[in-house]
Amino acid sequence: EVQLVESGGGLVQPGRSLRLSCAASGFTFEVYAMHWVRQAPGKGLEWVSSINWDTEGIDYADSVKGRFTISRDNAKNSLYLQMNSLRVEDTALYYCAKDRAYSLDYWGQGTLVTVSS
């Protein structure tokens, strides 16, 4: 059974940093691209970032480019999102998701990030 478990969310002040993690199991993590997607309170889904299986392909939404960094450790079956210079508008539930044929076929339950002073 595929499982994705996010962690690392919390309350943080504007301008500070936070690192999210996603622990994957139930599939061969090292061969799949992975994504981060977020949902702000009362809003829709927003794609944040993706990383190829070999970390050679990394992309970001314009809203986070230059502030967020996606990475992975295939030996640990883990995906990460380093979030720097956080803004109030980054407040959201952050999901990690597995890639499948340009879609996202498995999602975690999400970890909540709240940016507030």
Contact positions toward other proteins, by CB under 8 A? 35, 37, 44-47, 50, 57, 59-63, 95, 97, 100-110
Spatial CB neighbours of 81, under 8 Å, sequence gap ≥ 6: 19, 20, 22, 36, 48, 49, 68, 69, 70, 94, 96
H or E element, residue 96 = strand 92-100
**Across the strands, what pairs with 4?**
24
CB of 57 to other proteins, least distance (A): 7
Q: Please say which residue, 62 or 117, places its beta carbon nearer to other proteins.
A: 62
Q: Please say which residue, 59 or 69, places its beta carbon nearer to other proteins.
A: 59
Query: From CA 70, how far away is CA 42, in angstroms rounded?
Result: 25
Query: From CA 10, how far away is CA 84, in angstroms rounded?
Result: 14
Q: Please say which residue, 80 or 95, places its beta carbon nearer to other proteins.
A: 95
DSSP, res 75? G
CB of 11 to other proteins, least distance (A): 20
Q: Please say which residue, 27 or 106, places its beta carbon nearer to other proteins.
A: 106
CB of 27 to other proteins, least distance (A): 14
CB of 70 to other proteins, least distance (A): 12
